[in-house]
Amino acid sequence: MSPASRRALLFAPFAVAAAGGVAFYGMLQGMKTGEYNPRGVPSALIGQHAPDFTLPPLDGADRPALSAADLRNLPGPVLVNFWASWCVPCIIEHPQLMRLSNEGVPVFGIAYKDKPADSLKFLRERGNPFRRLSKDEPGRVAIDWGVYGVPETYLLDRQGIIRWRFAGPVTPDVLDQDIRPLLRRHAS
């Protein structure tokens, strides 16, 4: 091996570390300006209708089931929320979903990979914010939607076009800074 090759190998780890440092610095700068959102994984469905699906209702919930047909020609924007009783962040977001529901915002729920009895118990203990409610025990519909994990929430406009996706719990900040402005924007 030539001396120049050895020198290049000696400096290679420093070059990799420097590149990582530059990337990390860029991420921090993006966080300061609000351009970096670790939950903002883009969805291929933004600007499109929801994938075609039909799901069974959550047994015992006394709510109609949800299908793609229910997401067309809506009276106003709606939220579709993938959730589960075993999901700790779903507990965190639940009061915000209840608040929206009490304000008249249609929230549709899909219980993701959950036992129906556990889903029902969760809703009986905390309240049921969902106008339509289905179960996706095998998780196939969630895959079509591009769900990475629960909770995930989608906002659809009057025509049923997906306009926004959020991976993570709907906190009071997300409700006030993201969802409410989107609901106002898509209400007309």
Digit-coded pLDDT (tens) for 22-81: 445 554 544 443 333 444 556 788 999 999 999 999 999 999 999 999 999 899 999 999
**75 and 117: one domain?**
yes
Q: Model confidence at 2, in pLDDT bands (50, 70, 90)? A: confident
149 in any annotated domain:
yes
**74 and 32: one domain?**
no
55 in any annotated domain:
no
Rounded mean pLDDT of 161-168? 96
**120 and 78: one domain?**
yes
Look at residue 176 in the predicted model and tell me its pLDDT.
Answer: 96
156 in any annotated domain:
yes
Rounded mean pLDDT of 130-159? 96
7 in any annotated domain:
yes
Looking at the predicted structure, is the pLDDT value of residue 84 above 70? yes
Q: Mean pLDDT of all residues in the chain? A: 86
Look at residue 42 in the predicted model and tell me its pLDDT.
Answer: 65
41 in any annotated domain:
no
Higher pLDDT, 31 or 149: 149
d(CA 178, CA 112): 24
> Given CA atoms 103, 107, 113, 115 in this order, what sign does their dihedral have?
positive
Token pair in block for residue 136 = 């996706």
Looking at the predicted structure, is the pLDDT value of residue 16 above 80? no
The range of the structural domain enclosing residue 31 comes to 1-36
Q: Model confidence at 177, in pLDDT bands (50, 70, 90)? A: very high
Look at residue 44 in the predicted model and tell me its pLDDT.
Answer: 80
**10 and 76: one domain?**
no
**83 and 11: one domain?**
no
145 in any annotated domain:
yes
Q: How many domains would you assign to the chain?
A: 2
**122 and 177: one domain?**
yes
**83 and 16: one domain?**
no
161 in any annotated domain:
yes
d(CA 79, CA 85): 19
Burial class of residue 81, CB neighbours in 10 A (0-12, 13-18, 19+): buried
Rounded mean pLDDT of 110-119? 98
**90 and 177: one domain?**
yes
Look at residue 10 in the predicted model and tell me its pLDDT.
Answer: 67
Look at residue 11 in the predicted model and tell me its pLDDT.
Answer: 61
**21 and 80: one domain?**
no
**95 and 16: one domain?**
no
